[in-house]
């Protein structure tokens, strides 16, 4: 049984325009190496209850030509503070935005959310360039 | 040596009718990604002693067309509060109910129970769609 | 250099008669799933010093037709309270007794003993049915 | 979008002259074995803000003919105390300097930096001699 | 650049005579199983500074015909209390001594040393009988 | 501003009849000594939402003539499984029931509840006989 | 040396109108007992940088005639999500608002904020009715 | 309500003859100083169920003329391995035996028992010589 | 026996000119409340060896008319990065500088330094205005 | 019952000559402040078994005119590596040696020893100058 209204409220998410993330040149691009970020103060709005959600976003990536610039990445995440978005969609949206701006060789995004209604949720997506 | 009465008391479990779990459309179904839930306040009744059992249920799944809706999932687990059921059967029952309602690409269910009579029990089942 | 007396004192262990462990029918035997037990209050006697040894026994198994009944398993372990037996032999003895009574598809037994004479000992054996 | 000045400020890093790291003969070079170092008091300067960065450097390597001498390794890391260098470049620079001085069979360098502006960064590079 | 004196001071280590380690018969040698020891109070002398070093030695092995007897193993490690020996050489020396006395099917020796001069060192060697 | 209905729904709690707790004679009553219990599997019903609450109850007491019998204490706490009662009232009710049955010299009762709606609650009451 | 603008931007805080917190009757007011709340998802805006601050608010109080109602307390804290307010002022403002609405016998409010610019801040104020 | 049989089964405990604990002369008796022992492998028999109980005994004392000799203290505690005795009585019995043999200036005995039937128990008694 | 050179190298510390710490008006000065800061990335130079020292500085204070401004406090601590100063003197110097600039009602300064030469050092000074 | 030989073997400890501990002038002696040292690698010989003992020594003191110099303190503790001495006597000996060399206003010495024969021992002595 499907709750149609969910889908309706969130179907615009893949196209939602988010702030640009700056990149800088990877001067060691001849080698594969992994960069890991933890953003422990992520907050967005639950589209169902209107109440704030909190969590930590983890990013692992192997850069190709471009590295993610940290300050603009932070501003990118601040954008979600007033956005109504499900846990599952945050991780998918971030994954696709990071691929679009930095074309990494590998990327993994994990959203680890605080307990809500007695349930803890973690969502993780992994991407490997072919 | 088999204790026949056990089997007798639990053979109805696979067919036991449980509350429906709602699902919503997975708008990112073109990619594989993993969703993890922790339900730390699971309680049921030990069919042998009539005393309450306590534990945490962990669910990991890769959604296909449908995602599990959290609020109905919680209500699904509340249902067990007054049910006499062995640890092993909870995990198997939940696994088969979740497959039936959401047809995930991958599913793992783990029940991590509190110590009873000086013994701690964990049961885990994994399913991968062919 | 071999200390012959050790072997002598312990060569009867494989044939030592231990209390029967009850089993009950696995009503989900069509699937592979794993059951994990922790028995944190294991104690036996060191055959060399006569002093008590303490430790935790961990059991992981994939049941076939039979599941291990918890209460008789506990009584099985109480039996060792007055038995003089080396750490290595406890794990091997338990492994072979559990295979004999439940014919599992997979079994791992680990004995994690408290520090003795400034040394901590862990023994682990794994069995997979062919 | 690329911030050109970043690249400019850091393009000299691969050629930056660092203190020599002494090595000593590996008298067990006939076998592969792994050596792991943790240097928990690494500090350098952020080239963007001029403020100090802090972190822990982890090194894992399998020596070939030469082992890294610890005291000169420490002095090598002290050198960075006044150097403006990005997290990503520290790990790459160290990796290439260690390969040049000790020709290990395997090497992994990880920089685990303290949180900055609400974000934690870890960078890791692995090298395996062909 | 090599510090010749190091090599000189340590080249006798492979031949250094150490106390014998007793073994006893493995009455379950028909199966592979793993034995793990932790010796948390290892101490030796740093050959460079003459100051004591401290650490924990971890041993994992799969016995063949013989098991290591714990008391003589402890005395074997006490022997190093007054020996000047580098971290790397302790692990290699112990590995080769244990192979010589017990011919295990598998052996892993790890030395996890306390921080010295702001650096922590771990050395690990693994052996598998062909 | 007061929500009258709360008070209404809970004003019967002080007089609510609970299962008797057995006591046994304190054969060391000539001395003061403290007994501490932890009951980690407490569950009751939230009178506002009808959903289950979970928590741990801690009891510290100095017995006078009578000690609390553990098995009947457990049954006393099982009684709350289906009772609608606020966190604050559980602790006060338990305190007064224990004073009534065992007349301790000192008593402290603490209820440490799981997070609900993003808030964790702990309630504690202390009693000292004059 | 005083930065006058700080004071200017925050001098309105004591009079800032916040959402009402509901209370309910304390049916055990004849005894002193302590209630402790943890609100781990507090967020406000730094008035200096405009960036979000995160932290946990701890409340301990001994109720007199009124207890704090949890749901309205949560809404009270949500109010700060868009307010520019210093760490020190949050704790003082909350303290005085809670005294005004519930007249407790004792109250302690603590704000434990996440690290900012490499510094962690905790602010605590205690009140005892005379 | 009193369960008479408890009292009956345990009233002999205060007079139960236990192994002697040796003492040695305190050569620093002119000063007060505190000695703390932890005996983590205490086991006795539950007089009600006949099943083994496990726990840790903590002893703090300020010696006067005599110090407790460790080896005989251990043998003293081994004595309880086959004794049916309640948690409360172990602590009281040990306290009075230690006062009798060493006449300390101060003594505290704590028994911290493993969870039984979902309840953890700690018992503590303190003595100060007048 | 005194090492005169120590004293000589450090006797200028009490008069060493450090960067000014800004303060801002405490708008809640009518009440006592406590502010706690942790500065986990403190580093200075050991005056004896010339090597860097690392540690965490903890500050607790009750403000009177002025609160310490965080950004200038951080800059104050950066100043020590190139200063040769003993652990004991850092804590005393900071204490007296903070009293001079903010006249707090209470102040406690603790320096918790990383292990050096196998020894960990913590220094703490407390001040209470009369 | 006293084991005379103990006393005999240890009665020379109070007069045992230990290496001198250097002190340096306390330039902040006008204030009381506390210095804390942890020496985690203490080892001595058990006079009864001849086997090595290991532990951590903790020192807290308020200096008067003199501070303890760290390097000579370390050498002082190395001295015990080959000394047969009971746990209780180490703490008392160290206390009296430190009072003799630095005349502190306050001193606390704690020896926290590793488990031996299944028992952990901690000894602590406190001194306050009158």
| Domain assignment present for I12 | no
D81–I114 C-beta distance less than 8 A: no
| Domain assignment present for H89 | yes
C114–J114 C-beta distance less than 8 A: no
Question: Residue H8: what pLDDT?
Answer: 47
| Domain assignment present for D20 | no
Distance of alpha carbon D26 from alpha carbon G47, whole angstroms: 59
Question: Is the CB of residue D87 less than 8 Å from the CB of residue D124?
Answer: no
- Tell if the pTM clears 0.90, that is, is over it: yes
The number of domains in chain G is 1
Question: Is the CB of residue C44 less than 8 Å from the CB of residue C53?
Answer: yes
Question: Is the CB of residue F59 less than 8 Å from the CB of residue F36?
Answer: yes
Is B46 among the catalytic positions?
A: yes
| Domain assignment present for D117 | yes
Any idea which residues of E carry the catalytic annotation? 46, 53
Checking if the pLDDT of E35 tops 70, the result is yes
Taking Cα atoms as reference points, which of F95, F88, F80, F84 lies closest to residue F123? F88
| Domain assignment present for A18 | no
Q: Find chains touching chain I: ≥3 CB pairs under 8 Å.
A: D, E, G, J
Tokens of B105: 């690409």
Is there an interface between A and D (3+ Cβ pairs < 8 A)? yes
Give the mutation candidate from B49, B54, B120 for the F interface (greatest F CB count, under 10 A): B54
Q: Once rounded to an integer, what is the mean pLDDT over residues I50-54? A: 94
Question: Residue I9: what pLDDT?
Answer: 66
Reduce the DSSP state of residue E17 to 3 states and report it: coil
Chain A residues within 8 A of F45 when measuring between CB atoms: none
Q: Which residues, in sequence order, are CB contacts of A65 under 8 Å at separation 6+? A: A25, A26, A29, A103
Q: What is the mean pLDDT of chain D?
A: 91
What band does F48 get if pLDDT is binned at 50, 70 and 90? Answer: confident
Checking if the pLDDT of D15 tops 90, the result is no
Ranges under pLDDT 70 in chain J: 1-9
DSSP notation for B63-125: -SSEEE-HHHHHHHHHGGGG-B--HHHHHHHHHHHHHHHH--SEEEEEEEEPPBTTBEEEEEE
* CA angle C112–C71–F78, rounded 5-degree value: 105
Higher pLDDT, J8 or H96: H96
A25–D92 C-beta distance less than 8 A: no
D41–I52 C-beta distance less than 8 A: yes
Task: Please give, rounded to a whole number of angstroms, the shortest distance from the CA of D40 to a CA of chain G.
Answer: 17
C118–J114 C-beta distance less than 8 A: yes
pLDDT, mean of each 10-residue run, chain C (130 residues): 47 89 95 97 93 96 96 95 94 97 98 92 96
pLDDT in tens, A97-106: 999 999 999 9
Chain G residues within 8 A of F127 when measuring between CB atoms: 31
Distance of alpha carbon G64 from alpha carbon G77, whole angstroms: 22
Is A82 among the catalytic positions?
A: no
H or E stretch at G36: strand G33-45
**Which residue's structure tokens are 């009864």?**
J48
Higher pLDDT, H2 or D84: D84
Q: Find chains touching chain A: ≥3 CB pairs under 8 Å.
A: B, D, F, G
Q: How many CB pairs under 8 A join B and C?
A: 78
Question: Residue C40: what pLDDT?
Answer: 94
The phi and psi torsions of J57 (rounded to 5 degrees) equal -105, 130
Q: Once rounded to an integer, what is the mean pLDDT over residues B10-32? A: 92
Q: Other C-beta atoms within 10 Å of A67: how many?
A: 25
Q: Which residues, in sequence order, are CB contacts of J118 under 8 Å at separation 6+? A: C114, C116, H39, H40, H41, H74
Checking if the pLDDT of E7 tops 80, the result is no
| Domain assignment present for D21 | no
Chain A residues within 8 A of G78 when measuring between CB atoms: 51-52
Chain C residues within 8 A of B125 when measuring between CB atoms: 28, 31-34
Which chain H residue is nearest to residue F68, measuring alpha carbons?
A: H2
Distance of alpha carbon F37 from alpha carbon F49, whole angstroms: 29
Chain D residues within 8 A of A23 when measuring between CB atoms: 1-3
pLDDT in tens, D75-97: 999 999 999 999 999 999 999 99
Question: Residue G10: what pLDDT?
Answer: 80
Q: Which residues, in sequence order, are CB contacts of F7 under 8 Å at separation 6+? A: G24, G25, G27
pLDDT in tens, H32-53: 999 999 999 999 999 988 999 9
Query: Of the residues F53, F67, F101, F112, which is catalytic?
Result: F53
Taking Cα atoms as reference points, which of E53, I117, I112 lies closest to residue J69? I117
Taking Cα atoms as reference points, which of H121, H50, H51 lies closest to residue H90? H121
Checking if the pLDDT of H9 tops 90, the result is no
β B66-68/B52-62 pair status: unpaired
Question: Is the CB of residue D66 less than 8 Å from the CB of residue D26?
Answer: yes
Query: Which residues of C sit within 8 Å Cβ distance of B?
Result: 20, 22-28, 31-41, 63, 66-67, 69-71, 73-74
Reduce the DSSP state of residue J30 to 3 states and report it: coil
Tell me, letter by letter, the H, E, C secondary structure of D12-76: CHHHCCCCCCCEEECCCCCCCEEEEEEEEEEEEECCCCCCEEEEEEEEEEECCCEEECHHHHHHH
| Domain assignment present for H85 | yes
Give the mutation candidate from H4, H118, H121, H126 for the F interface (greatest F CB count, under 10 A): H118
Question: Residue G9: what pLDDT?
Answer: 66
H114–B118 C-beta distance less than 8 A: yes
Question: Is the CB of residue E127 less than 8 Å from the CB of residue E95?
Answer: yes
Question: Residue D9: what pLDDT?
Answer: 66
Checking if the pLDDT of E9 tops 70, the result is no
| Domain assignment present for J26 | no
Question: Residue A13: what pLDDT?
Answer: 87
Q: Once rounded to an integer, what is the mean pLDDT over residues B13-28? A: 92
Question: Residue D18: what pLDDT?
Answer: 94
Question: Residue B9: what pLDDT?
Answer: 65
Which chain D residue is nearest to residue G53, measuring alpha carbons?
A: D118
Is there an interface between C and J (3+ Cβ pairs < 8 A)? yes
The closest CB to that of G7, out of I27, I70, I74, belongs to I27
Distances (CA, A) of B70 to A88, B21, B24: 12, 9, 10
The closest CB to that of J52, out of E40, E81, E114, belongs to E81
Chain J residues within 8 A of H33 when measuring between CB atoms: 88, 91-92, 95, 123-126
A41–G114 C-beta distance less than 8 A: yes
Task: Please give, rounded to a whole number of angstroms, the shortest distance from the CA of I129 to a CA of chain D.
Answer: 35
Task: Please give, rounded to a whole number of angstroms, the shortest distance from the CA of H86 to a CA of chain C.
Answer: 18
Estimate to the nearest angstrom the gap between the alpha carbon of G91 and the chain centroid. Answer: 4
Distances (CA, A) of E60 to A46, F13, H41: 50, 60, 26
Chain B residues within 8 A of H114 when measuring between CB atoms: 118
Reduce the DSSP state of residue I55 to 3 states and report it: strand
Distance of alpha carbon E92 from alpha carbon E110, whole angstroms: 9
Residue C43 bridge partners (DSSP): C54
Question: Residue A9: what pLDDT?
Answer: 66
pLDDT in tens, G37-86: 999 999 999 998 899 999 999 999 999 999 999 999 999 999 999 999 99
What band does H117 get if pLDDT is binned at 50, 70 and 90? Answer: confident
Checking if the pLDDT of G92 tops 70, the result is yes
Is there an interface between I and G (3+ Cβ pairs < 8 A)? yes
Question: Residue D8: what pLDDT?
Answer: 47
Reduce the DSSP state of residue C72 to 3 states and report it: helix
The closest CB to that of A27, out of D2, D11, D125, belongs to D11
Question: Residue F9: what pLDDT?
Answer: 67
pLDDT in tens, H57-85: 999 999 999 999 999 999 999 999 999 99
Distance of alpha carbon F24 from alpha carbon H88, whole angstroms: 11
Q: Once rounded to an integer, what is the mean pLDDT over residues A5-23? A: 80
I114–E114 C-beta distance less than 8 A: no
**Which residue's structure tokens are 């039937």?**
H117
Which chain B residue is nearest to residue H118, measuring alpha carbons?
A: B116
Query: Which residues of H sit within 8 Å Cβ distance of J?
Result: 20, 22-28, 31-41, 63, 66-67, 69-71, 73-74
Distance of alpha carbon D106 from alpha carbon D129, whole angstroms: 6
Taking Cα atoms as reference points, which of E95, E127, E21, E106 lies closest to residue E64? E106
Residue A73's domain spans which residues? 36-128
Query: Which residues of A sit within 8 Å Cβ distance of D?
Result: 20, 22-28, 31-41, 63, 66-67, 69-71, 73-74
D54–I41 C-beta distance less than 8 A: yes
**C-alpha R_g of chain H:** 15
Chain G residues within 8 A of A81 when measuring between CB atoms: 52
Residue A62 sits in a domain of what CATH number?
3.30.1130.10
E52–J41 C-beta distance less than 8 A: yes
The closest CB to that of H92, out of F28, F66, F70, belongs to F28
What band does F42 get if pLDDT is binned at 50, 70 and 90? Answer: very high
Chain I residues within 8 A of D39 when measuring between CB atoms: none
Q: Find chains touching chain H: ≥3 CB pairs under 8 Å.
A: B, C, F, J
Q: What is the mean pLDDT of chain E?
A: 91
Give the mutation candidate from C39, C43, C71 for the H interface (greatest H CB count, under 10 A): C43
């Amino acid at each position: 049984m499907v709750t149609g209204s969910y889908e309706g409220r969130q179907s615009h998410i893949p196209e939602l325009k988010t702030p640009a993330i700056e990149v800088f040149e990877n001067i060691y691009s001849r080698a594969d190496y992994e960069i890991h970020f933890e953003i422990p103060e992520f907050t967005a709005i639950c589209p169902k209850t209107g109440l704030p959600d909190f969590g930590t976003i983890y990013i692992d990536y192997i850069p190709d030509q471009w590295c993610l610039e940290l300050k603009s990445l932070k501003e990118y995440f601040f954008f979600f503070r007033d956005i109504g978005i499900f846990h599952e969609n945050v991780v998918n949206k971030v994954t696709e935005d990071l691929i679009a701006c930095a074309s990494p060789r590998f990327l993994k995004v994990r959203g680890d959310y605080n307990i809500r209604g007695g349930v803890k949720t973690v969502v993780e997506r992994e991407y490997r360039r072919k």
